[in-house]
Structure formats: C-alpha cells, structure tokens
C-alpha cells in the first residue's frame, strides 16, 4: 500500500514543480507524463523502496523551488530532512544531490551560497555513520551484475520512457546486452519509438540554442543528465553496473523535463502532434502487450509462482533452486523448508560427479521435481543451463510453466522406483 501511496504523491508534486517552473499547463503536462511512466507505475506496485525514492526526489526539487521564493528556517529544515531520508533510503541518492547542488548554485542570488553549502554539509554529517555501508554496498552489489556499456545507456532511456515489459526479449545473458535483434523482433513497437527518438533528438539540439534554453531544461540536465554521466563514468572505470534503472530511479522523473523541452523546441505544431500521436500509438501497443506477461517483458510474477508451487508441490515433491528465491519465500513462507538448493554439475553428461549424485538422491525420493528458473540466479550460477540438462539426462524431457521470460518453473516427473534403472 505504501509504494502505491508514494507513487500517487509523485503526480501532484510533479504538477507543483511544473507550475513553479513555468505555468499550470506545463505542470499538468509534466504530471501527466509521470502518471503514465511505466517504470514509476511498476515500482509503485513493488514492496521495495524505489517509489519512495522518486517521491523524495520530487519533493526535494519542489522544496528547492519554494526556497527560491520564500527562504525560511522551516523550509531549509524540510530540505535537509528530505535529503537525509533520501540518502538513507537509496544509497545512490548522493548522485541526485550532486546534480541538485548545481541547481542550488544556479539559483543564486535567490538562494545564498552559504545556505546551500550549510544544508549539504549537514546532510553529509548526518550520513557519516552509514558511510561504511555505502562502500560495502558499492563493492558487493555493484559487482553482482554484468555490464554491457554500449547498450547500457539505451536500456536506461528505454526503461525510463517505454519500459521493458512490452517487448519480446530473448535470454539476455549475464550482461543483458541488447542489440539490433531485439529491434527487429519488436518492429511493431520499436519503429514508432525510433521515429519519436529521431524527432526528439532534433528537438533536443534546437532546445540548446542559446535563445531557447530554459530553467526547465537546466533542471532536466542537473537532475537527470549529471547523475547518469557520473554513473556511466563509474561503470566505465570499475566495470560494475551502476547504470541500472533502479539505481538511478530518482532521476527518472526529470528525464521528462528534457523530453518536454525537446518537443517544445519545435516551431511547427505538426512535429509536436507527430510526437504526441506516435506516443499514443506506442502506449496502446504497450498496453496490449502488458496483458501477456508470460510472453512479453521482464516482470517477474512471484505471487503466481508461489500459488502454483503451493498447490502442486506436496510431501513427495522437490522444489529446487540455485539461490534463495527471496520473493517466493515472502509470498509462500510455508514453502521455504521444502526448497532444496543445488549446485549445477560442471558437465551434465557425467553421472558420477557429486552434484549429479545429489540429483539422483532427490529424484529417487520424490515423484515430482520443480525447478525455479530465475534469470538472475541462472546467469550467475548456471549460465549454460547444466542443471536443466542434467535433469533431462537423468529423468527425461521436462515441461515448463512460464510466468515470464525471466521466471519459469521447469517440471519433471521421475518414473516410479520399480521402473527406474
């Protein structure tokens, strides 16, 4: 319920920001784009904190604009408290504050430099007890995901604008690299997206003419472009994937400021209406695809996986996994004792190795075998699908209950003991 509440609060905050930047019509447009943002809608349905982070980022900017008009101690206290809440909620919120620091500098003389400096210094001091966790997280979690830098930025832009839940996606592997193959497989939706992209790139260039630059455009760069550049630089230097959409969710709302300003840069109404019309077409196609998560996208349906396994698995069934399926444990805590963690064999064709012997024992003592295939664990521990191949060799062909391209349940029915070799 709380993620939904934070998601709903983002809409009036966006309206308030847009109204302060320009006028009510601008605020309504900004709020409307946020209201249909796929990634913000998705995170408003999740139990994690990402919806709160986007809400805090919008509230932070609203307070900054308020402080430009009314400088008060209560306003500055609120600004500091929101910033502290942000960095304690999302460890990379510091990237957002780096961009926001440029906004504070640009706000002079309406906002005195010493006030901005003091506010940020207080945030840093209040965060010092958690610095060790910052370094531990960036060292541990940043290395959990492979990075394919050439496609990292296009994926980020796609996630923040269109989302990934509307495409036919193959197994993307550990780095989740995307390329021309995906564009071809999804031409119905990628063609209008490409046309929109070309038009907006032209509008983007027009918007940066000296006479066209606006405060909204600067905010878009400070709050979206700067955090993305820092994250991209960190990914390039360290080889870790800091460009993940969830790591930069605080910047997602402000990409729409850049998009709005790029569209507004067109003098011809025909170009604006073309962008709007194609955008509506993409929305309709995406809405149709969203109704078929078993075929399109990457939205994991752990609730349905929990329901299926709870109904199908019994005392004579084995549920296998490569690593702890945390969300499965949440939705079906009763299944937790029934889950067996297995190691994939180095060579599935050799039955004498210890890992395969473990599988033989499981097969001999159960009438049904269920394997929870989750692409994150699969890419990390068994990228060549040796476990599935070994079970096929030991039992026979499997069936698959596909909840999504990245979350499936493989099913085997071993022969009765009397019939086994």
- Give 332-379 pLDDT, tens digit per residue: 888 888 888 888 877 766 655 666 778 888 888 888 999 999 887 888
Q: Could you say which DSSP state residue 409 is in?
A: E
The alpha carbon dihedral of 279, 283, 284, 286 has a sign of positive
Question: What pLDDT score does 182 carry?
Answer: 77
Q: Are 220 and 189 in contact (CB under 8 A)?
A: no
Collapsing DSSP to helix, strand or coil, 145 comes out as coil
Collapsing DSSP to helix, strand or coil, 301 comes out as coil
Nearest by Cα to 250 from 361, 127, 78, 99: 99
Most confident of 164-178, 315-329, 395-409: 395-409
Q: What is the average per-residue pLDDT within 115-128?
A: 94
CB atoms within 10 A of CB 121: 11
- Give 298-341 pLDDT, tens digit per residue: 677 888 888 999 888 887 888 998 877 667 877 888 888 888 88
Nearest by Cα to 371 from 396, 408, 337: 408
- Give 36-89 pLDDT, tens digit per residue: 888 898 888 877 889 999 999 999 999 999 999 988 999 999 999 999 999 999
Residues 6+ apart with CB under 8 A from 81: none
How many Å apart are CA 178 and CA 187, to the nearest integer? 14
Kindly list the strands in the beta sheet with 339-341, ordered across the sheet, starting from the edge strand earlier in the chain. 339-341, 317-321, 368-374, 407-412, 399-404
Element (H, E) at 318: strand 317-321
For the chain, the C-alpha Rg in angstroms (whole number) is 25
Question: What pLDDT score does 163 carry?
Answer: 78
Instruction: Identify the residue with better confidence: 144 or 201.
Output: 201
Residues 6+ apart with CB under 8 A from 141: none
Q: Could you say which DSSP state residue 221 is in?
A: I
Confidence band (pLDDT; 50, 70, 90) for 130? confident
Question: What pLDDT score does 420 carry?
Answer: 45
Q: What is the pTM of this model?
A: 0.80
For the record, the structure tokens of 285 come out as: 């196609």
Instruction: Identify the residue with better confidence: 252 or 153.
Output: 252
Q: Are 246 and 376 in contact (CB under 8 A)?
A: no
For the record, the structure tokens of 112 come out as: 């005195």
Confidence band (pLDDT; 50, 70, 90) for 3? confident
Nearest by Cα to 116 from 79, 81, 153, 142: 79
Question: What pLDDT score does 234 carry?
Answer: 86
pLDDT over 60 (residue 173): no
Domain map of the chain by residue range?
A: 2-290, 302-412
How many Å apart are CA 161 and CA 70, to the nearest integer? 34
Question: What pLDDT score does 421 carry?
Answer: 47
Element (H, E) at 94: helix 93-106
How far lies 266's CA from each of 253, 273, 281, 404, in Å? 22, 10, 20, 40
């Amino acid at each position: 319920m709380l993620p939904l509440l934070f998601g709903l609060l983002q809409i009036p905050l966006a309206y308030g920001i847009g109204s302060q930047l320009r006028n009510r019509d601008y605020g309504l447009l900004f709020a409307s784009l946020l209201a249909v943002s796929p990634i913000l809608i998705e995170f408003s349905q999740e139990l994690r904190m990402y919806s709160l982070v986007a809400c805090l980022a919008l509230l932070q900017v609203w307070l900054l604009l308020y402080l430009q008009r009314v400088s008060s101690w209560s306003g500055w206290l609120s600004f500091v408290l929101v910033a502290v809440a942000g960095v304690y909620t999302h460890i990379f919120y510091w990237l957002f504050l780096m961009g926001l620091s440029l906004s504070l500098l640009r706000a002079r003389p309406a906002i005195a430099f010493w006030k901005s400096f003091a506010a940020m210094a207080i945030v840093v001091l209040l965060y010092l007890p958690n610095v060790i966790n910052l370094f531990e997280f960036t060292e541990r979690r940043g290395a959990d995901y492979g990075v394919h830098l050439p496609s990292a930025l296009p994926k980020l832009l796609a996630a923040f604008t269109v989302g990934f839940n509307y495409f036919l996606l193959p197994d993307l592997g550990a780095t989740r690299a995307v390329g021309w193959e995906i564009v071809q497989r999804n031409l119905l939706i990628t063609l209008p997206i490409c046309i929109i992209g070309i038009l907006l790139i032209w509008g983007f260039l027009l918007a940066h003419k000296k006479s066209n630059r606006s405060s909204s455009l600067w905010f878009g760069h400070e709050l979206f472009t700067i955090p993305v550049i820092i994250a991209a630089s960190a990914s390039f230097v360290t080889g870790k994937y800091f460009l993940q959409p969830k790591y930069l969710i605080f910047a997602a709302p402000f990409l729409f400021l850049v998009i709005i300003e790029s569209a507004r840069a067109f003098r011809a109404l025909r170009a604006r209406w073309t962008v709007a019309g194609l955008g509506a077409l993409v929305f309709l196609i995406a809405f149709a695809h969203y109704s078929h998560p078993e075929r399109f996208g990457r939205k994991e349906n752990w609730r349905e996986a929990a329901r299926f396994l709870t109904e199908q698995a019994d005392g004579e069934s084995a549920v296998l996994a490569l690593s702890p399926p945390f969300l499965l444990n949440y939705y079906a805590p009763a299944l937790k004792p029934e889950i067996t963690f297995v190691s994939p064999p180095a060579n599935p064709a050799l039955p004498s190795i210890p890992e395969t012997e473990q599988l033989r024992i499981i097969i001999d003592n159960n009438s049904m075998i269920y394997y929870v295939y989750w692409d994150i664990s699969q890419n990390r521990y068994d990228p060549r699908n040796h476990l599935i191949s070994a079970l096929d060799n030991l039992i026979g062909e499997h069936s698959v209950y596909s909840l999504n391209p990245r979350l499936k349940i493989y099913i085997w029915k071993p022969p009765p003991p009397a019939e086994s070799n």
